[in-house]
Structures are given as C-alpha cells and as structure tokens.
Amino acid sequence: MKNHVWRPLVIVLAIVGGILIVRTLLVPKDFGIQERGYMYGWHRKSNEAEWKKYPVKYKTAVICRECHKDQYDDIKDSPHHSISCENCHGPNYDHPQNPLGLKIDRSRGLCIRCHAYLPYKDSARANIPGIDPEKHYPQAECVMCHYPHDPRRSNPKYQKSEVKS
Ligand code: HEC
Ligand code: HEC
Ligand code: HEC
Ligand code: HEC
C-alpha cells in the first residue's frame, strides 16, 4: 500500500493509544460497574462514602415532631397540613445544635408567596385561596391574625377573637 494510506492510519492508532494511556492514568482505580451491573452501576466506589458524609439539608415533619409536638398536632388537621415545616422555616441542617439553621419568618412575604390572588386558573397554585395583599389588612403581619399552624384560627399570641369560625 502507498504511504498516503499508512500515514493517517498510524496517526489514528496513535490517538487511540494516547486516549487509552491517559484513561488508565486519570480514571480512579475503584471506578467500575460495581454491584448493580452495566446498565446503572457505573460509579467510583469511594464516592459512596463521600455522599454519606454530605450534610442532609432538609429533614421531614416526623423529625420535627420529636421536639415540637404541639405545632405538629396543630397543623396536622389544618388547611396547612400538606405544607412541610421546612417550607416555611427553612432547612433543618443540624438544628437544634446549630441555632442558625432554622428561622422564624413573620413577614407578610412568607404568606403572600402562596396566597396572593392569581387570576389565571390553570395551575394548582391558583386553587389556593387568594387575597389581595394591597387590600387585605396591609398594615399588619398576617400572623398577627392567622395562626400559621392552623390559619383558620386566630393567633393566640396576638389576640383573643376568632379569625373565622
Ligand atoms: C431534638 C429536638 C428538636 C428537633 C428534632 C427539632 N427542634 Fe426545633 N427547636 C428545638 C429547641 C431545643 C429549640 C429552642 C428552644 C425553643 O424555642 O423551643 C427549637 C426551636 C425551634 C424554632 C424556633 C426558633 C426561634 O428562632 O425561636 C423553630 C421554628 C423550630 N425549632 C422548628 C423546627 C422544625 C421545623 C424542625 C424539623 C425540621 C425542628 N424544629 C426539629 C428542638 C428541636
Ligand atoms: C405556613 C408556614 C408555616 C408552617 C408550614 C410551619 N410553621 Fe412554624 N411558624 C410559622 C410562623 C410564621 C411562626 C411565628 C408565629 C408567631 O410569631 O406567632 C412559627 C412559629 C413556630 C415555632 C415557634 C413557637 C411558636 O409556636 O410560635 C415553632 C417551634 C414552629 N413554628 C415549628 C413548626 C413545626 C414543627 C412545623 C411543622 C409541623 C411548622 N412550624 C410549620 C410558620 C409556619
Ligand atoms: C407553601 C404555600 C403556603 C404558604 C407559605 C402559606 N399557605 Fe396558607 N394555605 C396554603 C394551602 C395549600 C392552603 C389550603 C388550601 C385549600 O384547602 O384548598 C392554605 C390555607 C390557608 C388559609 C385558609 C383559607 C380558607 O379559607 O380555608 C389561610 C387563612 C391561610 N392559608 C393563611 C396563611 C398565612 C397567614 C400564611 C403565612 C403565615 C400562609 N397561609 C402561608 C398554602 C400556603
Ligand atoms: C387584621 C387581621 C388580619 C390580617 C393582618 C390578615 N388577615 Fe387574612 N383574614 C382575616 C379575616 C378576619 C379573614 C376572614 C374574613 C375575610 O375573608 O376577610 C381572613 C381571611 C383570609 C383568607 C381566606 C380568604 C378566602 O377567600 O377564604 C386568607 C387566604 C387570608 N386571610 C390570608 C392572609 C394573608 C396571606 C395575610 C397577610 C398577607 C393576612 N391574611 C392578613 C384577618 C386578617
């Protein structure tokens, strides 16, 4: 065969060989198909231990129940039963050891996010009962009237009368 056929072949072989050498140098020794086989198993074994050490951001209401049974029981049978504690209070992280983790947000913004009236009836969000934030008691925080863990009730902290019977 002529040179002009051999030369490109040598170059292609050199590239493939180069890739194979670089691959053996760069791919970690414990990368492989592991227990779950060819289809889903490809990963680096030592990465499992790394993820186990990764701090869990969000816990669930069941965790909160251990120490905040009152709030848990209040919200359970309320219109807010489907909202997780951490939706309003932020991620648990390592609360209560780390007091910076969880917050209490008493601003109107917390509630308006879900309750500002939406005129477009094509989403689940629009089915949440809405108020007009400019007209619905704009001078006060929502939690001064509505108890957030059962919003049909008035907040015992701020007043005696019922918001809604
Ligand atoms: C191991 C017990 C424990 C667990 C579990 C726990 N908490 Fe707490 N929490 C506490 C303690 C202790 C405090 C501080 C004392 C207090 O205000 O009651 C606190 C305070 C709070 C406060 C008030 C913070 C403030 O600024 O006054 C909120 C809100 C709260 N927790 C929400 C949660 C939520 C939501 C969860 C679940 C994701 C949770 N907690 C899980 C023990 C716990
Ligand atoms: C709709 C938002 C919302 C949800 C959901 C929610 N909270 Fe709250 N939570 C608040 C607000 C706002 C306050 C402050 C209330 C106030 O100042 O009267 C508060 C206060 C608290 C406090 C401080 C003590 C108190 O009662 O004022 C704790 C503890 C707490 N929440 C725990 C929880 C736990 C546990 C859950 C889930 C079972 C939960 N919260 C779900 C909004 C929420
Ligand atoms: C993550 C979204 C979300 C947040 C945040 C939220 N709510 Fe709600 N709220 C809901 C849902 C969902 C319902 C139940 C709607 C239903 O039953 O159809 C509800 C129900 C209510 C109701 C009862 C309405 C009725 O006529 O039955 C009131 C009042 C209310 N919320 C006030 C508040 C207040 C005050 C806050 C802030 C402390 C707040 N909500 C924060 C989603 C939210
Ligand atoms: C001064 C007290 C007060 C404040 C502050 C207040 N509300 Fe209300 N809210 C009420 C009363 C009373 C009702 C029941 C009568 C009515 O519909 O006006 C009500 C009704 C509601 C309803 C039910 C509406 C429906 O169509 O079923 C929602 C949702 C609501 N409020 C959310 C909020 C949110 C969100 C905030 C803060 C942005 C807030 N409220 C602030 C007193 C208050």
Give the percent of the chain with pLDDT over 70. 93
Amino acid at 138: P
Contacts of 137 (CB under 8 A, 6+ apart): 145
CA distance 125 to 112: 12
Give the tens place of pLDDT for each residue, 72-102.
999 999 999 999 999 999 888 888 887 666 8
Across the chain, mean pLDDT equals 90
Residue 153 Cβ contacting ligand 2 at under 6 Å: no
- The mean pLDDT of 102-115, rounded to a whole number, is 93
Instruction: Check: CB of residue 82 under 8 Å from CB of residue 89.
Output: no
Report the pLDDT value the prediction gives residue 165, as an integer from 0 to 100. Answer: 44
pLDDT of residue 21 exceeding 70, the answer is yes
Residue 67 Cβ contacting ligand 2 at under 6 Å: no
Atom of ligand 1 nearest to the CA of 58: 38
Report the pLDDT value the prediction gives residue 100, as an integer from 0 to 100. Answer: 66
- The mean pLDDT of 91-117, rounded to a whole number, is 88
Instruction: Check: CB of residue 116 under 8 Å from CB of residue 128.
Output: no
Instruction: Check: CB of residue 72 under 8 Å from CB of residue 65.
Output: yes
CA distance 79 to 148: 10
Cα Rg of the chain (Å, integer): 29
Report the pLDDT value the prediction gives residue 68, as an integer from 0 to 100. Answer: 95
- The mean pLDDT of 103-107, rounded to a whole number, is 92
Give the tens place of pLDDT for each residue, 122-153.
888 888 999 999 999 999 999 999 999 999 99
Instruction: Check: CB of residue 143 under 8 Å from CB of residue 155.
Output: yes
CA of 125 to the centre of ligand 2 (A): 21
- The mean pLDDT of 37-49, rounded to a whole number, is 93
- Domain-wise residue ranges, the chain: 3-53, 61-144
Nearest to 92 by CA among 62, 54, 64: 64
Report the pLDDT value the prediction gives residue 75, as an integer from 0 to 100. Answer: 97
Instruction: Name which residue leads in pLDDT, 100 or 40.
Output: 40
Report the pLDDT value the prediction gives residue 160, as an integer from 0 to 100. Answer: 58
Which is it for the CA torsion 21, 22, 25, 29, positive or negative?
negative
pLDDT of residue 114 exceeding 80, the answer is yes
Q: Which residue has the tokens 């209040």?
A: 74
CA of 80 to the centre of ligand 3 (A): 6
Residue 7's φ and ψ, nearest 5 degrees, are: -60, -55
